Amino acid sequence: MTSMISVKEFAERRRKLMDRMAPDSIAILPAAPERVRNRDVLHPFRQDSDFQYLTGFGEPEAVLVLIPGREHGETVLFCKERNPEKELWDGFLVGPEGAIERFGMDDAFPISDIDDILPGMIEGRSRVYYPLGKDHAFDNRVMDWVKVIRSKVRAGAHPPGEFVALEHLLHDMRLYKSAAEVKVMAKAGQISAEAHCRAMKRARRGGYEYNLEAELIHTFMEHGARSTAYPSIVGGGANGCILHYIENSSPLKEGDLVLIDAGCELECYASDITRTFPVSGRFSSEQKALYEVVLAAQYAAIDAVRPGNHWNHPHEAALKVLTQGLIDLGLLSGSLDDAIASEAYKPFFMHRTGHWLGLDVHDVGDYKVGDAWRELEPGMALTVEPGLYIAPDNANVDAKWRGIGIRIEDDVVVTKEGCRVLTGDVPKTIAEIEALMAD
């Protein structure tokens, strides 16, 4: 499948990163290692998000090296060599020549030669940008290379004097999504929206939570999204009150709600949608009352996603609506200000209203700059996901409310005027949901 992000854009990202690096520095970034599932079976390979962002290169056993000012090429990739016998078993390899021709690298070498070549590239550089602590095995290799250089100091070698976390530069770049990135994320959102619609329609036939999960995975795969962005949550009844419920094995019961929090991953970019709907296709009066509060809170939060507002504004907007709704329904008492100040809402709403979204479902990027919440700017992508959860054993509320868990989540990107919802193709009003499920 052809990437929706061009080779040129990956090169521009590397150029931008190098422009931010100090003089006489080098950046080293390894690909993700392969992970053993059990015995001799590996997990499906998923590239490290930082490595993917800078290369688009999807193989393990690779290392990206950025050396601003290097005469023979500033962007260097070490990767596996072409090997017809190995490729017969495990599939096509790009090889060093392909890394230059297909991925726009200036130079490339076999990964088997890295111990001989990379120390010479590090030598004479005063600063090394590197994700220290992310891969302990590779950390040790980097330290070994530095030791080799230090052992030659008397012969005139110059080891680096400083290691700096690469994330400080790179993760701020990743926070601002390009038009191409937004296009990929919008496509992922459309696929996930179709999957949620399919699961809603399937629910009335009953069965088990995993039957709805199967509909999600089928739709993802059918559209070329070969992986979920995170383990799918399909919680029927009181299971919807468990925030990260992933067992997905309970029977679907007439009269219960189902909370589905699921999204596909497309070209390593995540989508993240939550919808809550009735197994029977019709909301009860209590379910409807709580649902309308959560939906109003989400609308208020989305309206607060705009340039000039800070990160916490959408959360504050949602929190006011949720807390007032709890008071209006008799689940809380007292004034709105007092309920918020005392955090009386916490038994019913215990999480934040969103998170950054991108190559990671909980994407990188600081939420505060210094002690102040970060101001929202065009290109930032985030989720908006208020919820209410009435625990089944909450003796402080009337029994009719217990065991109802509701969350509504969409993916949005900040624009110059406000925000764009990327996941609007799946219904979320009560009328829309009941009409879809009646088809």
Looking at 171, 275, 315, 407, which residue is catalytic?
407
Is 256 designated active site? no
Is 40 designated active site? yes
Is 136 designated active site? no
Is 315 designated active site? no
Which DSSP category does 102 fall into? H
Is 135 designated active site? no
Looking at 265, 363, 409, 411, which residue is catalytic?
409
Looking at 362, 367, 398, 432, which residue is catalytic?
362
Listed in sequence order, the DSSP H helices in 74-228 are 84-90, 95-103, 114-122, 136-150, 167-175, 179-203, 209-222
Is 90 designated active site? no
What distance in Å separates the CA atoms of residue 415 and residue 212, rounded to the nearest whole number? 34
Looking at 174, 196, 315, 355, which residue is catalytic?
355
Q: Which of 217, 198, 261 is nearest to 235 (CA)?
A: 261
Contacts of 6 (CB under 8 A, 6+ apart): 180
Looking at 19, 39, 40, 90, which residue is catalytic?
40
Looking at 198, 223, 351, 402, which residue is catalytic?
351
Which DSSP category does 22 fall into? P
Is 310 designated active site? no
Is 385 designated active site? yes
Is 362 designated active site? yes
Cβ atoms of 203 and 437 closer than 8 Å? yes
Looking at 275, 313, 389, 411, which residue is catalytic?
389
Looking at 213, 385, 410, 434, which residue is catalytic?
385
Measure the CA dihedral 46/51/57/61, to 10°: -70
Q: Which of 415, 382, 389 is nearest to 403 (CA)?
A: 389
Q: Which residues pair with 262 in a beta bridge?
A: 273
Sheet holding 257-262, edge to edge: 233-236, 257-262, 273-278
- Give the three-state DSSP class for 410: strand
Q: Which residues pair with 235 in a beta bridge?
A: 259
Looking at 215, 272, 360, 434, which residue is catalytic?
272
Cβ atoms of 276 and 406 closer than 8 Å? yes
Is 265 designated active site? no
Looking at 261, 267, 360, 434, which residue is catalytic?
261
Looking at 85, 244, 254, 439, which residue is catalytic?
244
Sheet holding 264-266, edge to edge: 227-228, 264-266, 269-270
Q: Which of 263, 256, 297, 295 is nearest to 278 (CA)?
A: 256
Annotated catalytic residues are: 40, 244, 261, 272, 351, 355, 362, 385, 389, 407, 409
